[in-house]
């Protein structure tokens, strides 16, 4: 099933996973998973803890064997019926969460490790080039414990890139770094992957990191892929309630689906749901879609609480017809005199889902 180069449609995927499945004990089953990754694409694999991200990565790397399904890399079958290529010969780079640098080897020797079969001169040139790319040239002779977390992460990436793998898999590569450093290391890592034209899968459980990293987000839940696409699409047009709530906070407003519209206490919103007329449904309204509005006929609520958070202020409003307070977030500086606030809902960002 692996794609060979074909005509006008480009070279086809570098990595192709088809109906890949693996049962782990009685409690967890991964798959079947279908996933195809284009050359030079950087994919972020995201999902709550325990959804199977690392298992999928381990199956691709060959650290685990699948129960069924296939893995192809560059058109070569790595796993399938009767086929299993050992991890060392898969041409896949792996960056572990804790970096797993060899403590008894220097940084230069760590990077050299995967180049044992290369001619000496070429291997030394490649190590020097990677040390320079990762700004570690001055630290080539240090041991891993003599490096900061960010430097160790760069060294682990350089080691993974050294043998020119077809794809690099990175399991939570930024989670051991503190917040400020994480942003910078993430930026540098993506820049390096781009500069070297590397295809990569980066695992994270952080929604914001997934949306802001790479070209494509793959959201997993309970061993399956829920949705895959550009971060903006997953955020703005989530496939289901789970995907919606993974990336954003919402007010869930009950209503009734009728005639292509969702009727709620906050108004009527056009939507398309696969539901019978008069079925219960929910409007998912982002707090930032609740906007202050001075119009006389605007909606209104009494302010239950205010929380100033710097760039934005978050308010909870009691609104007639709603059982739970409505959360609003605004960048406006509000002057509220009588405890009441008028507002409108920006209909463009309202999502609708079946109630059950």
Dist. CA 190–CA 272, nearest whole Å: 38
Buried/exposed code over 48-84 (b: 16+ C-beta within 10 A; e: otherwise): eeebbbbbbbbbbbbebebeebbbbbbeebbbbeeee
The secondary structure element, H or E, covering residue 302 is strand 299-308
* Bridging pattern class, strands 216-221 and 261-264: unpaired
In the complex, which residues of this chain contact ligand ATP (CB under 6 A)?
24-25, 28, 47, 49-55, 205
Helix axes 120-133, 149-161, angle to 10 degrees: 140
Cα–Cα distance measured from residue 30 to residue 55, given in angstroms and rounded to the nearest whole number: 8
CB of 176 to ligand ATP, least distance (A): 13
Tokens of 175: 């989670």
Residue with tokens 């399938």: 80
Pick between residue 28 and residue 143 the one whose CB is nearest to ligand ATP. Answer: 28
Both tokens of residue 294?
A: 């001075």
Q: How far is the CB of 215 from ligand ATP (least distance, A)?
A: 21
Cβ distance to ligand ATP smaller for residue 224 or 258: 224
CB of 24 to ligand ATP, least distance (A): 4
Q: Which is nearer to ligand ATP, 50 or 270 (CB)?
A: 50
Rg (CA), the chain: 25
Of 57 and 345, nearer to ligand ATP (C-beta) is 57
Taking the C-alpha atoms of residue 246 and residue 97, their distance in angstroms, rounded to an integer, is 22
Nearer to ligand ATP, 54 or 152 (CB): 54
CB of 208 to ligand ATP, least distance (A): 16
Least distance to ligand ATP from the beta carbon of 100, Å? Answer: 15
Compare residues 51 and 201 and give the one whose CB is closer to ligand ATP. Answer: 51
Those residues with Cβ within 8 angstroms of residue 69's Cβ, 6 or more apart along the chain or in another chain: 17, 18, 19, 20, 21, 31, 32, 33, 79, 80
In 3D space, the residue among 19, 11, 62 whose CA is nearest the CA of residue 39 turns out to be: 11
Nearer to ligand ATP, 47 or 80 (CB): 47
- CB-nearer residue toward ligand ATP: 49 or 332: 49
CB of 226 to ligand ATP, least distance (A): 13
The pairing of beta strand 340-345 with beta strand 290-292:
antiparallel
Q: Comparing C-alpha atoms, which of 258, 259, 231 is closest to residue 246? A: 231
CB of residue 210 vs ligand ATP: minimum separation in angstroms? Answer: 12
Phi, psi of 171 (to 5 degrees): -95, 105
Tell the burial category of 153 from Cβ atoms under 10 Å away from its Cβ (0-12, 13-18, 19+): buried
Identify which of residues 58 and 126 has a Cβ nearer to ligand ATP in the complex: 58
Q: Cβ 201 to ligand ATP, closest distance in Å?
A: 12
Closest approach, Cβ 154 to ligand ATP, in A, equals: 22
């Amino acid at each position: 099933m692996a794609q060979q180069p074909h005509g006008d449609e480009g070279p086809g995927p570098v990595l192709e996973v088809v109906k890949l499945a693996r049962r782990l004990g009685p409690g967890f089953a991964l798959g079947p998973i279908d996933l195809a990754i284009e050359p030079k694409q950087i994919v972020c694999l995201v999902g709550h803890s325990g959804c199977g991200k690392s298992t999928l990565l381990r199956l691709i790397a060959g650290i685990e064997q699948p129960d069924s399904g296939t893995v192809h890399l560059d058109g070569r079958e790595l796993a399938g019926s009767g086929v299993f290529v050992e991890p060392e010969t898969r041409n896949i780079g792996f960056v572990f969460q804790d970096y797993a640098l060899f403590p008894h080897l220097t940084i230069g020797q760590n990077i050299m490790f995967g180049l044992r079969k290369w001619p000496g001169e070429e291997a030394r040139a490649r190590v020097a080039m990677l040390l320079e790319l990762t700004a570690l040239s001055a630290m080539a002779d240090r041991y891993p414990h003599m490096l900061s977390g960010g430097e160790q992460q760069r060294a682990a990436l350089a080691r993974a890139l050294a043998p020119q793998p077809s794809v690099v898999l990175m399991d939570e590569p930024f989670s051991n770094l503190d917040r400020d450093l994480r942003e910078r290391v993430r930026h540098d890592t993506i820049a390096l992957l781009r500069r070297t034209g590397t295809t990569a899968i980066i695992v994270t459980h952080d929604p914001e990191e997934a949306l802001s990293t790479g070209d494509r987000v793959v959201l997993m839940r309970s061993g399956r892929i829920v949705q895959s696409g550009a971060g903006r699409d997953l955020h703005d047009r989530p496939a289901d309630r789970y995907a919606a709530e993974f990336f954003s906070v919402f007010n869930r407003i009950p209503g009734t689906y009728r005639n292509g519209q969702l009727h709620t206490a906050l108004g009527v919103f056009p939507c398309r749901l696969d539901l019978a007329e008069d079925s219960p449904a929910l409007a998912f309204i982002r707090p930032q879609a609740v906007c202050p509005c001075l119009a006389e006929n605007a909606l209104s609520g009494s302010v239950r609480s205010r929380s100033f958070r710097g760039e934005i202020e978050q308010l909870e409003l009691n609104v007639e017809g709603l059982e739970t307070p409505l959360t609003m977030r605004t960048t406006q500086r509000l002057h509220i005199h009588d405890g009441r606030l008028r507002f409108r809902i920006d209909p463009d960002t309202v999502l609708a889902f079946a109630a059950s």
